[in-house]
Structure 1
Amino acid sequence: MRLSRYFLPTMKETPSEAQIVSHRYMLRAGMIKQSSAGIYSWLPMGFKVLRKLENIVHEEQIRAGHVPMLMPTLQSADLWRESGRYDGYGEEMLRMQDRHGRDMLFSPTAEEMFTDVFRAHVNSYKDLPLTLYQIQWKFRDEIRPRFGVMRGREFFMKDGYNFDLTKEDALHAYNRHLVSYLRTYERMGLQAIPMRADSGPIGGDYTHEFLVLAETGESEVFYDSQITDLKFGDRAIDYDDVAQCQAVLEEFTSRYARTDETHEADEFAKVPEDRQRVARGIEVGQIFYFGTQYSESMGASVQDSEGNKVPVHMGSHGIGVSRLLGAIIEASHDDKGIIWPEGVTPFHVGILNMRAKDEACTEACDALYDSFKAIGLDPLYDDRDTGAGAKFADMDLIGLPWRITVGPRGLKNGVVELTCRRTGESEEMPDAQAVEKISQIYAKHRVTGL
């Protein structure tokens, strides 16, 4: 994309309402615009990153054997009355009536909807196990929406629901989700620590939150520092292998890691003192097993091998896709702007033409741009006729991992300047070598289509 043809309304000054780093930089980098309290328009670059995160989540869910679908954002209150949650959910639920006086609500979560689909179409144990999921907009009427997309009222979320014949099968689904989430977050350049958590209004006995460590996190967390040394890496996982998934779960959850809601001081004291850590964390996902809570109240049952009708065991599993943008920025930035991990960057490389009116510079930049497009990479070419200072400032603000600077002096020597945004280190090399180096870096970060 040529910047002269793109819509990227960057700002030099920080808006007064932005209180945390991610909110400031998302506004200044032209990623979002507030529509009303806690509700945002996603501008082109913000929307581009949102879609990259969505694709990664889809890929890892499908890899784990889960089936995508899409539910409506407006739900009938009757389903929620059937489950017993309509009156108890609280004022965060946005309630309304349609023109016929029927009670409706804007989906804050979708357990009832998925259970209703399941009970209408699945009758036999032979159709199990089954996990359905969606990535869809949700709405919770927060009393004090703040921190931009980190605590908005409208948010983009993956929510999945497993249906299993037995508790043992459902707990394998729980373990399988935990494993798939570890891979998902690492692909996004994040270390999200699974921590024993409180189930809240969802209910259930088993639940882990995934938290990214950041100073602006809403939750106080207590953990054994050894857990931050764990990496999922490129390990091959057979998601149908119960023992393998259980082993990964135990590896990543056997060390102490709790939110403030479930913290036990006596247990934490057993961690060697030099490994005890207290920090802040940002929740980016949560998994639950809640047994037959919804299936019993809503009649979601199947016929087992002996012909008996039995309620299915269920769990739900969420990832805050829009919230992830804020979490990534909170975890990866400096005083100049965002620093995107390669796996989620809106553009793979920035090309800066330092003298737009110089024919040689323009030809070299055009050639670089075409070379990247030819190998399937997505460059952002700053072809504007503006000063060097503005170009460098904008490129640092939007945080592309790599930048190629093209100027008359370098071209005379047959080189361009390749700069790493994270380290600030620059290196001069021929343009073809720069293209090859960037190509190799991104070879392992490609997000394929569905």
Structure 2
Amino acid sequence: MRWSQLYVPTLRQDPADADAVSHRLLVRGGFVRQLMAGHYSLLPLAVRVRAKIMDVIREEMAAIGTQEFVLPTVHPAEIWERSGRSEVIGEEMFRLRDRKGADLVLGVTHEEIFTVLAQELRSYRDLPQMWFQFQTKFRDEPRPKSGLLRVREFTMKDSYSFDLDEAGLDRAFRLHRAAYERIFARIGLPAVAVHASSGVMGGSESVEFMSPAEAGEDRVVRCPGCGYAANTEKATSALPAVADGPGPDAPERFDTPDARTIEELARLHGVPAERQVKTLVYVVDGQLTLVLLRGDHALAEQKLVDTLAARALRPATPEEIQEALGASPGSLGAVGVTDLPVLADEALRGRTDLTTGANTDGVHLRGVSVERDLAVRRWADLREVAAGEACPRCGEPLEVVVTIEVGHIFKIGRKYTEALGVSVLGPDGERVAPVMGSYGIGVERALAAVVETHHDDKGIVWPVAVAPFEAVVTVLGSTDATVAETAEALYRQLRAERVDALLDDRDERPGVKFRDAELIGIPYRITVGARGLAGGTVEITARATGETRAVPLAEAADHVRKLLTAA
């Protein structure tokens, strides 16, 4: 490819609305353009990177025996209603009607549709099966942001396994986990496998692959000592034991007209946060519910969703709280509440002599014994782990790292096969629903995550495996016939040796050509100019290190090939 014929609309200034490094550099480098919020056009350079990422994924999927499909993106709404996810996904799903009035949806994912295909499986002899595709997904994100990291339309590699029993699912899960580790290593993306919530997908187990990056929206708790790692939605920690006094025989009221927060109660009334009971009020599937935590702990909302298997969950409004409890947020508590469900975090179990709201504005209760005074219906791990807390496995201090989710694998069991009526004849002659696994990688998000990891102040530094071009032959003095002809010959030689090369034959100043090559991140630049040719050499510059070497012209193509092989 010749740069003079390539569409690369680079920009000299950062886009004003870019809030992530990848967003800024992909727009500046002429890789993407936004059509509207959450929808991006991929330009030729991005298409090339995307294709290389997909090639790596496709190779690793084939290596574990997964077969490629292409399924529709427009689905009958009825299938999603049968699985129960139409209501659960709610407004995130794009919905439409055709001219005949049939209700349709745009595919958020494809568990249901692959399960429909699995209805043709007849016997245990047809199993196991592992199927995958690359397909566009549509999600009506309320706040698309950060370029390709959070969008409404994107390409996903989604794969699905069907097995007779849980042992087969375990095997498929292990195969996909290992394949994902190879994929991310090959494309140069550091990714940590962590325990995660299964969310609306359902199932018994899930693992996320998280890439550390400042632009990430997920937080991972990890232990530098033993390697424990989990999303904050799933993570646990070991808390030190707390010594409580017996306290009074019954809770005592005291006035707190100036305290509406945990911090104000601690500062103005001398009650440490760890000795307070925080009361949150949620509406869970239409039911007002009280959630209790230690005052210095935060709720991991997904843990609450998972604990209750909630289909719909939201914080209660001040009006709903006032009507149910007779007080405003800041003076709430569960003492004496028996007509509403009360859930408590495990960190409160057995605690005594605590302080909580009295359900009267400006009044609190001291001397509260949790088991004596609170009608807790259910205990669960509900709190969000904080940095510095002890690892649940080895006791070392935990770290909290901001990350981007680049892959997610699930053991989803029989949720969809049972809902959609899939069964096979088992070895004993009885019919059984196959067990499923689901495994996803967002392709464009992976592309952006690579940029988040591989860049400097000059632009993108693509790993060789996914770079839009492996090398660029930069012509200095394109009007010099000898220089132009030499560069052309070298370019052709590189192509003959299967180097993915670009010839920068533009009539531009050297500085412009160098800056553009650095901005778009081509791993190796081969500079052909009259001064070097006078000595029989060309210059080869590595984008990652900036190191430049003069190499004899006759050895240049072989030298580049060796560099690429080593990379």
Give me the TM-score of the superposition, normalised by structure 2. Answer: 0.72
Residues 154 and 357 (structure 1), Cα distance of their counterparts in 2 relative to 1, 3 Å cut: same
What does the per-residue CA deviation read over 1:111-150, in whole Å, with 9 as the maximum and x for residues that have no partner? Answer: 110000011x211000101011111000000001011111
Q: Over aligned residue pairs, what C-alpha RMSD do you find?
A: 1.5
What does the per-residue CA deviation read over 1:223-278, in whole Å, with 9 as the maximum and x for residues that have no partner? Answer: 2336xxxxxxxxxxxxxxxxxxxxxxxxxxx7301112112122861377888433
Residues 366 and 168 (structure 1), Cα distance of their counterparts in 2 relative to 1, 3 Å cut: same
1:236-247 counterparts in 2 under 5 A? none
SS across alignment from 2:87: coil
- Aligned equivalent of 1:280, options 402, 406, 421: 402
CA distance in 2, matches of 1:45, 1:401: 14
CA distance in 2, matches of 1:344, 1:68: 21
Q: Which residue matches 1:352?
A: 474
* Offset, 1:86: 1.3
Query: What residue identity is the alignment partner of 2:194?
Result: M
State the identity as a percent: 41
CA distance in 2, matches of 1:130, 1:431: 53
SS across alignment from 1:299: coil
Q: Which residue matches 2:18?
A: 18
Matched, 1:72 2:72: yes
Q: Which moved more, 1:260-269 or 1:5-14?
A: 260-269
* Offset, 1:327: 0.1
Q: Which residue matches 2:390?
A: 269
* Offset, 1:433: 2.1
* Offset, 1:350: 1.0
SS across alignment from 2:91: coil
Q: Which residue matches 1:338?
A: 460
Query: What residue identity is the alignment partner of 1:437?
Result: H
* Offset, 1:44: 0.6
* Offset, 1:71: 0.5
SS across alignment from 2:86: coil
CA distance in 1, matches of 2:84, 2:448: 34
Residues 32 and 364 (structure 1), Cα distance of their counterparts in 2 relative to 1, 3 Å cut: same
1:97-246 counterparts in 2 under 5 A? 97-119=97-119, 121-225=120-224
Residues 146 and 215, structure 2, Cα contact 8 Å, conserved in 1? no
- Aligned equivalent of 1:427, options 533, 549, 566: 549
Q: Which residue matches 2:532?
A: 410
Q: Which residue matches 1:256?
A: 228
Q: Which residue matches 1:240?
A: none
CA distance in 2, matches of 1:221, 1:111: 26
Q: Which residue matches 2:558?
A: 436
Query: What residue identity is the alignment partner of 2:135?
Result: Q
CA distance in 2, matches of 1:42, 1:173: 33
CA distance in 2, matches of 1:31, 1:220: 28
In structure 2, runs of 5+ residues without a counterpart are 240-388
CA distance in 1, matches of 2:221, 2:545: 30
CA distance in 2, matches of 1:81, 1:272: 45
SS across alignment from 1:18: coil
Q: Which residue matches 1:46?
A: 46
Q: Which residue matches 1:238?
A: none
SS across alignment from 2:176: helix
- Aligned equivalent of 2:427, options 292, 305, 320: 305
Query: What residue identity is the alignment partner of 1:60?
Result: E
Q: Which residue matches 1:56?
A: 56
Query: What residue identity is the alignment partner of 1:377?
Result: V
What does the per-residue CA deviation read over 1:276-312, in whole Å, with 9 as the maximum and x for residues that have no partner? Answer: 4332111110000011111111111100011100011
CA distance in 2, matches of 1:275, 1:307: 53
Residues 192 and 209, structure 2, Cα contact 8 Å, conserved in 1? yes
* Offset, 1:444: 7.0
- Aligned equivalent of 1:390, options 512, 515, 522: 512
Query: What residue identity is the alignment partner of 1:264?
Result: T
CA distance in 1, matches of 2:153, 2:60: 24
* Offset, 1:215: 1.6
CA distance in 1, matches of 2:132, 2:563: 32
Q: Which residue matches 2:265?
A: none
Query: What residue identity is the alignment partner of 1:358?
Result: D
CA distance in 2, matches of 1:376, 1:208: 38
CA distance in 1, matches of 2:417, 2:181: 28
SS across alignment from 1:175: helix
SS across alignment from 1:384: coil
CA distance in 1, matches of 2:547, 2:394: 38
CA distance in 2, matches of 1:437, 1:205: 51
Residues 192 and 432 (structure 1), Cα distance of their counterparts in 2 relative to 1, 3 Å cut: farther
* Offset, 1:381: 1.1
Query: What residue identity is the alignment partner of 1:182?
Result: E
CA distance in 2, matches of 1:191, 1:283: 11
SS across alignment from 2:466: coil
SS across alignment from 1:11: coil
SS across alignment from 1:88: helix
Query: What residue identity is the alignment partner of 1:400?
Result: I
CA distance in 1, matches of 2:552, 2:81: 67
CA distance in 2, matches of 1:444, 1:410: 26
CA distance in 2, matches of 1:102, 1:444: 56
CA distance in 1, matches of 2:396, 2:223: 9
Query: What residue identity is the alignment partner of 1:32?
Result: V
Query: What residue identity is the alignment partner of 2:137?
Result: K
Residues 390 and 396, structure 2, Cα contact 8 Å, conserved in 1? no
SS across alignment from 2:89: coil
SS across alignment from 2:214: coil
* Offset, 1:367: 1.2
For the pair shown, which has the larger CA radius of gyration, 1 or 2? 2
